[in-house]
Structure 1
Amino acid sequence: MLKKPVLHNAIMKRHVLIFGLVGGLLIATLQYTEYRFVIIEHSFELYGALVAILFAAFGIWLGLKITRNRETGRREIVRETVVVKEVLVPAGPFAPDTTRQQALGITPRELEILTLIARGLSNREIATQLFVSENTVKTHCSRTFDKLGAARRTQAVQRGKELGLLP
């Protein structure tokens, strides 16, 4: 009587082992067919995605590396180039020296454009603000620079301040 349950357990173990092996083989076959379908049939898309991921990762890494170097470089430059200047501001409203303006032959429009240049506006911004073309602004700038003996915008502003035309 003892042999039957032991024999029954051995057969059960053998059946479980066989069913496990067959199930494992079926799962392996399904995995292989899925692999074959996904990898081989869609290899072009997968390679494209892989290349895109690699380039994105490289771009992010490079961007971080470049911005870190710029930030540290800027901090060092700012520390080296800090200049403190005392600027005297007139107490009342500024009025340009009209006698010098007339002596130099600077028109009110040219003075207005020179004032906007001193505020840091570009030719395009000045043209938009005054409702004129950019070429008109360039012409006025050129004539004003000639009258002040300046070659650049910064020189014209400096000269205008020296002559009392700008605040």
Structure 2
Amino acid sequence: MKQTILIFSALIVAVLCLFQLSKYALLFGNTNIDAVIAMIALVFFAIGAYLNKKSFHHQKVVLNEGKIDHKKITQLGISKREYEVLLQVSQGLSNKEIALRLSVSESTIKTHVSNILLKLDAKRRTQAIQKAKEHQIIAL
């Protein structure tokens, strides 16, 4: 988190410096506006490429860590539909939103969520998600 804040702070400082530089360059007539815009575009391109590379590396690590233990799903007795509901719950969706996505009634979703809570020995949805991650039945 601190690193992200530092990167965006550096980006803001760089943009402010470029704007100040362009203001003085235009006042003194040393540079035309196209060169200033090109310089700003190059800085943003370099920062974007760096952030994209860092983001891609982070996604790769998460994908490697996020292996699903299908045997554990069977062991816990979670049905395919309950697993679908669990995935939707892990995305932070409400019962109503899940019902709309899966084309079932809201009461059916409530039943599935109750079954999931029982099978994972959880009292709340957030606790169920945490336990599911611990059991490696949903991706981190």
The yes-or-no answer on 1:89 pairing with 2:58 is no
1:104 corresponds in structure 2 to 76
Deviations 1:43-77 (A, max 9, x none): xxxxxxxxxxxxxxxxxxxxxxxxxxxxxxxxxxx
Offset, 1:89: 1.3
- The alignment of Structure 1 onto Structure 2 pairs a total of residues equal to 81
The yes-or-no answer on 1:128 pairing with 2:100 is yes
- Alpha-carbon distance in structure 1 between the residues aligned to 2:104 and 2:93: 14
Letter in 2 for 1:144: I
**CA RMSD in angstroms, aligned pairs only:** 2.1
Offset, 1:96: 2.5
Letter in 1 for 2:77: G
Greater length-normalized contact order (CA 8 Å, ≥ 6 residues apart): 2
Alignment of 1:13-162 (within 5 A): 89-91=62-64, 94-162=66-134
Offset, 1:95: 4.9
* TM-score (norm: length of structure 2): 0.54
Question: Where does structure 1 lack aligned partners over 5 or more consecutive residues?
Answer: 1-85
- Alpha-carbon distance in structure 2 between the residues aligned to 1:91 and 1:156: 22
Larger radius of gyration: 1
Counterpart of 1:156 in 2: which secondary structure? helix
- Alpha-carbon distance in structure 2 between the residues aligned to 1:162 and 1:130: 26
- Alpha-carbon distance in structure 1 between the residues aligned to 2:67 and 2:107: 28
* TM-score (norm: length of structure 1): 0.45
Offset, 1:140: 0.3
Offset, 1:97: 1.2
Offset, 1:150: 0.3
Offset, 1:90: 2.3
- Alpha-carbon distance in structure 2 between the residues aligned to 1:98 and 1:107: 11
Instruction: Indicate the percent of aligned positions where both proteins have the same amino acid.
Output: 44
Offset, 1:152: 0.3
Counterpart of 2:112 in 1: which secondary structure? helix
Letter in 2 for 1:90: L
Deviations 1:71-119 (A, max 9, x none): xxxxxxxxxxxxxxx9961238x55211111111000111110010000
Letter in 2 for 1:142: S
